[in-house]
Amino acid sequence: MILLLIAASTALATLIGGSFALRFRDKLHLILGFSAGAVAGVALFDLLPEAIRFGTPYHSASTVALFVAFGLFGYLILDRLILLHTHEEDEGIVNDSRGSFGALTLSAHSFLDGVAIGIGFQASVALGVVITAAVLTHDFSDGINTVSLVLRNGGTRKKAFHWLLVDAFAPVAGVASTLLFRIPDSLIGLVLAVFVGTFLYLSSSDLIPESHHRHPRALTTVMTLLGALLLYVVVHLAG
């Protein structure tokens, strides 16, 4: 029950992000910058140490590092070759179906976010809570990007809102799916290592460029550093 309530909070974060995009599209650079730092902070200060702690009793450190690389470069392949993200250079192309497909891929992101939360709680409650915090910041930006993709490619506000609902409830489905299986202790460290790579990619490829594209000011960079610092402090105090 607690897991599903946490999943519902991710849905709320996505809805809030999408609502901000519909109303305050030009005022989001600071929030996105902070989110980028927070997601990177979770990967470096919490997920990576936990991946090493859970993984090294069964695997070498180089194997754990290899799975971090699998997460980063595997997500790169999905993003560039399969998911066909709509990038800045395509903004002049108006294609309603492209906007819908982009929104669908972001919803797939959100489903995997939910899976990350569920697996985090399988490892430990503290790890699950920290991953949830990172996912909340990422899902906020996912809501923004979902609405932006649909509107930028000729979709209506109504259609953008419908896709926002899909994206909002995708992490709930992801968390629920982890209630149907349990990962063996010998594999938890490797799975966490994969999420280290994916979180680093999301921060460096999606959130940081998007925040600076919206408003390239020094304050945006400061917010990114503050996001990472806050996660370091939280993880340190929790530890």
Average pLDDT over residues 26-50: 79
- For 173-199, the pLDDT digits (tens) are 888 888 888 888 889 899 889 989 988
- For 107-148, the pLDDT digits (tens) are 876 787 788 888 888 888 878 887 887 777 667 767 776 776
Question: What token pair was written down for 147?
Answer: 């609405």
d(CA 4, CA 160) in angstroms, rounded, equals: 25
- For 159-180, the pLDDT digits (tens) are 888 888 888 888 888 888 888 8
Cα-Cα-Cα-Cα torsion 70, 11, 107, 69, nearest 10 degrees, comes to -10
